[in-house]
A and B are shown apart, each in its own frame.
Chain A
């Protein structure tokens, strides 16, 4: 075993190898000649891989190796990226360069780094022949996160009679609990990060946000080929495409890998390199957050005491709202605000166990959501204009308008806004841009409430 040295001093990051056997994918990386960082992905009850899908599987696994490497790469961000063995082709390298650059934009901003000169995947590998249809079973993998979005997506698919499996990566009792409530078949994929990464972190390695949706997407692409699914339906909204801020000429979007740009890039890449009939898409792409919260308010009754969008990682579940909602983070703030126009107030209180809008100490949190005197938080939350529309709606409602932060909005912020841009209704419409396959088109009407 080589001695550990600071990855920030390394000259190169190496993609060492990847393999798959007996339901476990093994992904190996290293900084220079340092110890191998080995990540393992466990696919439970993995079936034998049909020979016809072998090529597709290998392509998906290779992509996963490249994508999952981002967790390790960021520990040192060395000047050179090295791929041991066959280099990616230009098309793949282009996808990876884009992903690493945009997916790590927040990380770079927060750590004061410029990655533009550093991220360059080798691109001289031979282009493979275009992927063909694999006649994959017509069923959908739906990643479930325990929040409102995936539950809306799942209920919409159920409503149009689609066959689906709820899938999640890693151990989360909250997600498992929500997944059980859906009544769908469940698939829980295990992910084990290399412990060497934690050793590096303790040495002071670079740390910060990574585009985890991209990693999960790549894992699900492998799963779709392995288990046989022709669709991977994420639940990312329209607002995910909006940048959080701009920094030295580069857009920084916390949710970049949940945005439409990445969705299109991966969708197309999978069609070209893995299987022409594997659709990667987001079912909620046409919708703003408010349309989704409205849909959730309508159908979520069975989930009200189980779901949580809070970004605190609740590993130990309890019966109280405070066991699911921290009440302090931007996600709590946003979901509270976005559900408020669509639920009876006592019901919303039952979900959160407290009234965040009648709490002066939460002022800065809600200001950031509305992009008032602050930028949008680095979180998966709706657009500022959307938050302002929800707040405006509440300020017009007698049962809300005396609550501390609603009253303050009306007194202090509203006079500075253009009232014609505060209507709620435009946010409830669906946009056209999406990659949803035709067999699930009906699900859009379900969400819209048509």
Chain B
């Protein structure tokens, strides 16, 4: 035993730090552990380290246990010994006696094999050796490095209890520890030193046997120690900074969760997040010990903190999670509740077939339960047999494959009113079951599995936009996963108007409201798109902003102009007569098509009607065909242009008929076009549209061009990442490599011009009413209708007081006699006064062009600056 070296006062706070298998498997990582532990000790905390076995050793020990031949087991034990010898050598220490003797014990256990009387105890003891070895080695290394570390046997501190529903196997290999604060133990250890190391995964039961804690065992050990020592906190050190607001593989923009209470964290861990095993939180609850998740590679970064304290904060959805592969069993019976024992009989059938139930929903005549995808379900006839049994007592339907999508957040019921856009999203899907837990922590929707991959990123975005996931609250939400572990935050250049403030104030002083367009910003977006190597030709959708100067700039860069009406064709021709024109109308008159053909524009059709009734008009011509791929995307229902709910595009089941008509009238289909919606920030989306169009085109010999439309998103909310053009080019390039025979067209609109425009307006009045503080400006929905029409979010700043602290919370409203004339809800702004110049950003697209004279108010004029 080492000399007693206790330098901290006996009542110094305890910190429990847990490190996993990868962290303890190399000398270099042990060096990091030493630094982190020393830092905590130097801050005045007594540290208890909990470690896992060296990565791979627990699996090796499991394999050893399964071997029948003694010599094979002994060889396996020897291989494990070698790993520890090698690590000690790299650590630069002699293999300590404590490790030597553990290795000797392991070798003997391997040689003797299981004890016939209690084979499970043998198994637990063998598998527990991984931690006994790693902790002994660690104690020697840290001590040798000058950080005196006492080795503690977890089995002397953690006592397993037997629970009524446990069998011998779970009692031994998946034991539960009753972790109660033990002041005597804490005091005894405090007398022995400052730093201690103990084993994860193992404990001792009431009969004195070594038992294992099962999956997630080392995390559970750490929290049990936290409870026993009544620690200041437990730190779980791992390779990720904590829990995220969604699975980062599905939603790269998922945000790090900074603060969670125990119940929320448990809910998130149970419904999908893998970073923490849900069972490790329960020991901490009663003694109110916080748990921190920390990233070993970024020790200074604040990770997720889980604790009892719910800081004063607006209710927020914290996370969305999904579980796939779910099967629902719906049982229908008339008057089931009147029959005593009906449910008992039903659930007994599940028990008999070894099927466990997760969610339950019930109605007067129906009970529906969900089943997780176990091997039993997938590879045996359990479901068929269960259904056959149930069919004797009720009508049964097996619904699969489903996925459960869960929103987690404390006080879910009080947030329902904010979830309308989210619920609208679900309204487009088949929702089989909704479950809201009585603890008010979650809301679960069970939907068809195939929709989830598309749904999740969209839901996450909708929750942010609806203000139900308060990503703007930096106390609750940290950086995005993308920023921390992905390609990193892209550098976002400050908006152009910050550098043009004086000029803009001058312009606003002359007249208000007025639109200002910054041409260099348009040029920057043009240049970005020109760098897309996969794209052969771009048409600018001029409906976004048909200002002549913008059309000239776009045309000068070699882009064509996409028009949807005779008026737009005329504007395009007037501003840039030489630029190719693409005519993509919807429900246009026959004359419109005739005029476009005369004009020499490339014409896109998106219905049977023109060929059925005006076939001769198109005879001998080449046309583009717009199809509806059957689903839509976008930031608002009204900007979604694909899917059966939208009026655009030829449905695929009419494609054969269209081609027949084309052949009859000698019309050549030279290209296919699809456009699913607007405001899409995920590059993968266009790859899918492109690939789907290509597979369709392969059936039509005449197709040379695939036009995947526009819809390139422009980030508006703080923290939103711009569309990654490099990623887009990569995705498109992959599809192009597979289908090199087609030329690729795109037709962006808003992407090119949104950011170039600002709407300048001046404050008119200020009014408090009810809970709201209204700030009136002289621009309204007649100038900029996007907030009213699409619930679009535009950044609003007080240009006169750009550097003042934003202390007021305003509803920014216009002068129009409509309740909906609100330009910005709940905006944090400096206290503003009559005459101040406000700037509404990203107003270059669908701004002036959608203006009206409603209320017989004047429209804003448009100024172009270089």
A346-B327, A398-B396 are known contacts. Are A321 and B701 too (CB-CB below 8 A)? no
Closest to A349 in B: B401
Given A204-B702, A358-B399 in contact, is the A312-B695 Cβ separation under 8 Å?
yes
In chain B, residues 338-353, which have Cβ atoms closer than 8 Å to a Cβ of chain A? none
Whether B377 is near chain A, meaning CB under 8 Å from some CB there, is yes
Chain B residue, CB-CB nearest to A353: B450
- A353-B401 Cα distance, complex, nearest whole Å: 6
Q: Are B382 and A198 in contact (CB under 8 A)?
A: no
Q: Given A315-B739, A316-B738, A354-B450, A344–B384 Cβ distance below 8 Å?
A: yes
How far, in angstroms, from A346 to B702 measured CA to CA in the complex? 42
Assess the A344–B400 pair: CB atoms within 8 A.
no
**Which of A155-163, A242-250, A260-268, A399-407 faces chain B?**
A399-407
Q: Which residue of B lies closest to A197 (CB)?
A: B701
Provide the main secondary structure of the chain A interface: loop
* Residues of chain A from 344 to 375 with CB closer than 8 A to chain B in the complex: 344-347, 349-350, 353-355, 358
- Contact across chains for A399 and B383 when beta carbons are under 8 A apart: yes
Pairwise interchain contact B450-A346, C-beta atoms closer than 8 A: no
For the complex formed, measure the closest distance between the CB of A405 and the CB atoms of chain B, giving whole angstroms: 13
Q: Does B167 contact A (CB under 8 A)?
A: no
Q: What is the 8 Å Cβ interface bit string for chain B, positions 436-450, against chain A (1 contact, 0 not)?
A: 000000000000111
Q: If the complex has contacts A204-B668, A207-B701, A316-B734, are A345 and B398 also in contact, measured as CB distance less than 8 A?
A: yes
A403, B384: Cβ atoms closer than 8 Å: no
Q: Is the beta-carbon distance between B401 and A346 smaller than 8 angstroms?
A: yes
- Across the interface, do A403 and B397 meet the contact criterion of CB distance under 8 Å? yes
> Bound state CA distance, A311 and B351, in angstroms?
42
A183 and B382 alpha carbons, distance in the complex (Å): 32
A355–B400 contact, CB under 8 A? yes
Q: Which residue of B lies closest to A358 (CB)?
A: B399
Minimum CB–CB distance from A86 to chain B (whole Å) comes to 33
What 0/1 pattern do residues 656 to 688 of B give for CB contact below 8 A with A? Answer: 000000010010101000000000000000010
Q: Mark B383-422, 1 if CB is under 8 A from A, else 0.
A: 1101110110001111111000000000000000000000
Residues facing B in A319-358 (CB within 8 A) are 320-322, 327, 344-347, 349-350, 353-355, 358
The number of inter-chain residue pairs (CB within 8 angstroms) is: 98
Interface presence of B380 (CB below 8 A): yes
Q: By CB atoms of chain A within 10 A, which of B391, B398, B670, B687 has the most?
A: B398
Residue of B nearest to A355 (CB): B400
Q: Decide: A322 and B373 in contact? CB cutoff 8 A.
A: no
| Alpha-carbon distance between A166 and B734 when the two chains are bound, in angstroms | 27
Q: Do the beta carbons of B448 and A344 come within 8 Å of each other? A: no
> A316 to B691, Cβ gap below 8 A?
yes
CB distance from A110 to the nearest CB of B (A): 10
In the complex, the chain A residue whose C-beta lies closest to that of B687 is A316
A333 CB → nearest B CB, Å:
14
Q: Which residues of B contact A397 (CB under 8 A)?
A: 384, 387-388
Known: A344-B384, A353-B449, A355-B400. A202 touches B379 (CB 8 A): no
Which of A198, A316, A322 lies at the interface centre, i.e. has the most chain B CB atoms within 10 A of its CB? A316
Task: Please report the C-alpha to C-alpha distance between residue A313 and residue B697 in the assembled complex, in whole angstroms.
Answer: 11
Interface residues of A in 72-104 (CB under 8 A from B): none
Using Cβ atoms and an 8 Å threshold, which residues of chain B touch A198? 701, 741
Q: A313 touching B388 by the CB < 8 A rule?
A: no
Contact assessment for A315 and B738 in the assembled complex, using a CB-CB cutoff below 8 Å: yes
* A205 beta carbon closer than 8 Å to chain B: yes
Residues in A neighbouring B42, C-beta threshold 8 A: none
Contacts of A316 in B (CB 8 A): 687, 691, 734-735, 738
- Cβ-based interface call for A5 (8 A): no
**Given the complex, which residues of A lie within 8 Å of B327, measured CB to CB?**
345-346, 349
**Which residues in B have their C-beta under 8 angstroms from that of A201?**
701-702
The docked-state distance in angstroms from the alpha carbon of A267 to that of B464 is: 66
Cα A370 to Cα B325 in complex, Å, equals: 29
Judging by beta carbons under 8 Å apart, are A344 and B401 in contact? no
Q: Could you say which of B388, B668, B701, B738 has the most chain A C-beta atoms within 10 Å of its C-beta? A: B701
A350→B373 contact, CB < 8 A: yes
Q: How far is the CA of A315 from the CA of B739 in the complex (A)?
A: 9
| Known A204-B668, A353-B449, A403-B397; contact A347-B379, beta-carbon cutoff 8 A | yes
With contacts A315-B739, A321-B450 taken as known, whether A400 is within 8 angstroms of B398 at the C-beta atoms is: yes
Q: Which residues of B (90-114) have their CB < 8 Å from a CB of A?
A: none
Q: Judging by beta carbons under 8 Å apart, are A399 and B373 in contact?
A: no
B756–chain A nearest beta-carbon distance, Å: 35
Residue ID in chain A nearest B398 by CB atoms: A399
Q: Does B401 lie within 8 Å of A399, measured CB to CB? A: no
Residues in B with CB closer than 8 Å to A398 are: 384, 387-388, 390-391, 396
* Min CB–CB distance A440 → chain B (angstroms): 30
The residues of B that contact A349 with a CB separation of less than 8 Å are 325, 327, 400-401, 449
- Across the interface, which residues of A come within 8 angstroms of B379, CB to CB? 344, 347
Give a binary string over A179-209; 1 marks a CB under 8 Å from any B CB, 0 the rest.
0000000000000000000100110110100
Distance of A29 from chain B, by nearest CB (Å): 17
Residues of B within 8 A of A358 (CB): 399
Contact across chains for B325 and A315 when beta carbons are under 8 A apart: no
Task: Determine whether B313 belongs to the interface, using a CB cutoff of 8 Å to chain A.
Answer: no
Q: A residues within 8 A CB of B666? A: 204
B378: Cβ under 8 A from any A Cβ: yes
CB distance from A390 to the nearest CB of B (A): 15
Report the bound CA distance from A397 to B698 in whole Å.
Answer: 40
- Chain A residue at minimum C-beta to C-beta distance from B694: A315
CB distance from B644 to the nearest CB of A (A): 10
Interface presence of B115 (CB below 8 A): no
- Chain A, 397-431, CB within 8 A of any chain B CB: 397-400, 402-403
Complex Cα spacing A350 to B400, Å: 9
Given B325, B377, B378, B701, which contacts A202 in the complex, CB threshold below 8 Å?
B701
Say yes or no: B450 contacts A399, CB within 8 Å: no
Please name all residues of chain B whose beta carbon is closer than 8 Å to the beta carbon of A347 when the two chains form the complex: 378-379
Nearest CB in chain B to that of A321: its residue:
B450
In the complex with contacts A344-B382, A399-B383, A355-B704 CB distance below 8 A: no
Bound-state Cα–Cα, A312 to B652, Å: 14
Given contacts A202-B702, A398-B387, A354 and B401 within 8 Å (CB-CB): yes
Of all chain A residues, the one with the shortest Cβ separation from B696 is A312
| B453 contacts chain A at the CB level, 8 A cutoff | yes
Apart from A315-B738, A327-B450, A354-B448, list 11 A-B contacts with CB within 8 A: A201-B701, A202-B668, A202-B704, A313-B698, A344-B377, A345-B398, A346-B377, A346-B383, A347-B379, A349-B401, A397-B388
* 4 nearest CB pairs, A to B: A201-B701, A349-B401, A402-B397, A399-B387
Task: List 8 A-B residue pairs with CB atoms under 8 Å apart, sorted by A's residue number.
Answer: A198-B741, A316-B687, A322-B450, A349-B327, A353-B449, A397-B388, A398-B387, A399-B386
